[in-house]
Amino acid sequence: MTVATTKRPTALAIWLIFAGVVGVLAAFTLTMDDIRSLQDDDFVPACNFSPIFQCSANLESWQGSAFGFPNPLIGLVCWMAPVVVGAAILSGARFAKWFWALYALGHTLAFGFVCWLAFQSIFRIGTLCPWCMVTWAVTIPSFFAVLLHAVRIGAIPLGRSGRKLADTLMGWIPLLVTVSFLVIAIAAVIRLNLLTSILG
């Protein structure tokens, strides 16, 4: 058993609080813009910078209400969880392994949803929603951090070698996140002629 599995994950807790606050802010802003758009047909969200960088197209698309209601409402509810979990860890709480397994599952579902939304935004809607990208920017690292933590403490049973690998990969999270961002950026550049739009 490594020291990393017994120490309180303070860095993870601080990140979860930060990510949760940023996620709630993005979700709240998108929700308010959606409400104002419904109230005023002439309302233009402040995040509409250009035909490519805008929120309106995403909010008005069916993908923007994938479950029958605006996606930002999901963020308003779900992003509170990281804040609560992070604060609880900093206050001394220790969660059972089953909790971390379920919590990792939640982040995995969030990561999958974000990947789907990014694909839809780039390849179907043809826009990049600034506040959506803020959400992607905190969801992706949160997924890697929570998943690897769950593996290294044995909440996801992958054996001693799996725990050791997860413990090692925790230090490589910045690289994993950077590669993920690069994949999205390259897809956007190729599909949306992003460089031409920015430089033009």
pLDDT in tens, 8-52: 899 999 999 999 999 999 999 999 999 998 898 888 888 998 888
The neighbour count for residue 85, using CB atoms within 10 Å, is: 21
Q: What six digits make up the tokens of 127? A: 């826009």
| 61 HSE (CA, 13 A, CB side) | 18
- Name every residue whose Cβ is closer than 8 Å to that of residue 60 and which is 6 or more positions away in sequence: 37
Q: Across residues 139-160, what is the average pLDDT? A: 95
Full-model pTM:
0.90
Query: Domain-by-domain residue ranges, the chain?
Result: 8-199
Q: For residue 134, is pLDDT > 80?
A: yes
Q: Which fold has domain 8-199?
A: de novo design (two linked rop proteins) (1.20.1440)
Residue 167 above 70 pLDDT?
A: yes
pLDDT tens, position by position, 91-133: 999 999 999 999 999 999 999 999 999 999 999 999 999 999 9
In angstroms, the Cα distances linking 101 to 48, 94, 98, 137 are 39, 14, 5, 23
